Every structure is written in structure tokens, then in C-alpha cells.
Amino acid sequence: MPEKAISDVIGKYSENDFTVKLCRTIFSVVPNFPPFQFYNTLDGAATRLNVTDEAAKTKAGELANQPEIKSAVWVADAVDKADMGISVVTGVKNILSLFGGTRQQSTFEADPQQAVDAVMKAAALSYIIYKTMPGDIGQKISRFFELPAGKELTLYYAMAEIALPFTDDLVSGGASLISRLFSRHRGDMNQKFSSVVGGDGMKQAGEVLEKMEKPLGEYIDMAKGHTGTVMNKIREFLPSASTIGNIADSATGAAATAMDVMPVWSFLGSRAAAEACAYRALQNL
């Protein structure tokens, strides 16, 4: 399984990147959501979790070098790259397409490729949870959602991969929506995700995914009332609509401008992995 170090991914970002602004915007609109904090080092993740003991920081660094953590970071990074096989359309491209007028409100049935992508990204999220957190499946999930970055990655999934592209489907509750999505495209997901992470990786992700319908549904319910606010706030810092239309048309995998590439899964996934290491060091897990 390919690997990537947290420091090699998270260190690429600065506070003024569109990637960071986009995340800050999305997370700021949901009431009572943890305040977004920018950092681009493992030490920054430790500070966010109030890890001050030097021995614990050293332990977090040791955990960050484990193959399981590095494989989780690699998968998060791969989500943003269409040629890696996990996705064809990124959440960022969904957002830019909405601005450019090239995307209409849709349903799973009307846009099956987007629906398969959404299931693949749920599998990627599940894989990240499995690899970064210790314990049985229930413990892995509950511990992941103790991380601010775990909450952020899940809310981004709910907003950018489900709520924005599938607005017409949001009349149903989040859990039933996820159940319908998974049941419709589980076979596609098993085949495609296995080709990326192998049979064992798919099995691990699948064990988590089986228990993710309820929590993902809750995050979708959290996100769906705020899609309009998110879009309005994004307009404050993204380029003009005509430029965005060109970006959306030319984007492959990650939407790009000359100033910044917006690989949000890579950014949020590496943060989740970093916070997992700090959390585990603090809890001696």
C-alpha cells in the first residue's frame, strides 16, 4: 500500500490558500461547530488538542511514522486526484460548477457517476478512520469524532459531496439518504475501492462503513440547511463567475487556479491524521 507522511502533505498549505478559506467558510456557517484553527504542522495539531507534554509530542511523532497513518494520508491525498481511481468529480469541482452555471440540482438516479464518487469518498473516509484510530470498530468511529479535524472532514463530505450536488434528494433524512446511496452503489464501490487499496483495505473500510450510516446521516442533516449560506459566503473570496466557469471546465480531479490548488481532502485528511496521532499520544493509545 502506498504511503505519504503527514508532514509532506500538511506542510504545503498556508493560511491564505483558497483551500483553507473554503474550509473555514464551510465550518463557520454551522451553529455550534468547533471553531476552525489553521495549522500546517504536527505540532500545530498537538497544540489544538492541548498536548503540551514533550514526551507526548514525541510519541505523536512516532505514531505519525507508522505505516497505517501514512497509508491513511495517502488515501486522503488520492481522493483529490482523478487518476488515482477514487473519484472523478471532486467536491470543489461541484462547488465551482454550481457557480459557473454548469451544474443543476440533481439526484442519485440522475447523476450515477457523482453518486458512485460519493460512495467512494465515504469508503475513503472509513478507511482513514480504520487506519488512524485504535480499538474495535465502534471505538474507532467514536474516537475519530472526538477530533475537531474528524468532525471537519465528515462535515466537508456531507456538504460538498452530498448536500450541494444532490439537493433534490435532501427532502429525506440523512440516514435514509445514505442508506439508499450505499445500497445502490455498494457493488461499484467494492470493486473500485479494492482496486486502489487492495482486498484487505476494502475489508477494513467496509467494516467501518457498515456503521457509518447514522453518523453520516447526522452530518448531512447538519449540512443541508446551510448550503445557500455556504455558497453566498464562498462568493466573497473566490474569483469571478466567468473565471470560475473556466476553472470548473478545465479542472481534473482538483479544481485549480494559477494561485492555488484546492485539494481539500488532502488538507483535511492530513489534519485528521495529525490530530489522531496527538490524541493517541495524549490518551496513551
Q: Which pTM was predicted?
A: 0.87
Q: What local confidence, expressed as pLDDT, does residue 214 receive?
A: 92
- 82 grid coordinates: 482523478
pLDDT digits (tens, 9 = 90+) for 39-75: 999 999 999 999 999 999 999 999 999 999 999 999 9
Please, what sign has the CA dihedral across residues 92, 227, 187, 142? positive
C-beta separation of 98 from 227 below 8 A: no
Closest to 278 (Cα-Cα) out of 6, 56, 21, 76: 56
Question: If you count DSSP H runs as helices and E runs as strands, how many of each does the chain have, helices first?
Answer: 14, 0
Q: What local confidence, expressed as pLDDT, does residue 90 receive?
A: 54
C-beta separation of 68 from 131 below 8 A: yes
Q: State phi, psi for 256 to the nearest 5 degrees.
A: -135, 150
pLDDT digits (tens, 9 = 90+) for 163-179: 888 877 666 667 777 88
Ranges of each domain in the chain: 6-283
